[in-house]
Amino acid sequence: MRVHIATDHAGMELSSHLIGHLRESGYDVVDHGPQEYDANDDYPAFCINAAQAVADDWKAGVDALGIVLGGSGNGEQIAANKVRGIRAALAWNLDTARLARQHNDANVVAVGGRQHTVDEAAEIIDAFLAEPFSGDERHVRRIGQIARYEATGTTA
């Protein structure tokens, strides 16, 4: 599986750790930056680029998920969710990570680097990446409504 990752300055230590950890676990990791620490960086471009890469991979039939990191993960999740076809979920524990995949077929996870130790965050992300979508009809129906709204402005 390909994993696209992006961060802001607050998540750089976590991002660096995760890139190594995920590569060791066999994932094809693509780093969307930033490459250097800048306390005044603007995370939206990094996160949008990672989310767009996930969306592009899905369109091309490539198995891919994304990770966006920040101090809280909130802004990064919002930025990623601006990309058509992306369902980014903020995960703060193992349950929210797994449920994001099981129920929402989330394809990007947001995690706050200042909210967890590096090991806790890695566990949350591992849980997200490992969890399959349940495929239950009710979840498929609800995701379809979201996708219709995104495309047409209506859920009907």
Model confidence at 45, pLDDT cuts 50, 70, 90, reads: very high
pLDDT value, residue 38: 87
Could you give the residue numbers annotated as active site?
Answer: 76, 103
The 8 Å CB, 24+ separation contacts for 13-22 are 13/113, 13/118, 14/69, 14/111, 14/113, 14/118, 14/121, 15/69, 15/113, 17/118, 17/122, 18/67, 18/69, 18/121, 18/122, 18/125, 21/122, 22/125, 22/129
Torsion on CA atoms 21, 55, 78, 23, rounded to nearest 10: 0
Above 90 in pLDDT, residue 66?
yes
For the segment 71-76, the average pLDDT, to the nearest whole number, is 96
pLDDT at 57 over 90: yes
| Spatial separation of the C-alpha atoms in residues 58 and 54, rounded to whole Å | 6
State the DSSP code for 4: E
**Mean per-residue pLDDT of the chain:** 96
pLDDT of residue 41: 87
Mean local confidence (pLDDT), 59-84: 97
Task: Give the mean model confidence (pLDDT) for residues 9-27.
Answer: 96
Q: Mean pLDDT across the stretch 94-102?
A: 98
Which pair of tokens denotes residue 43? Answer: 């995370």
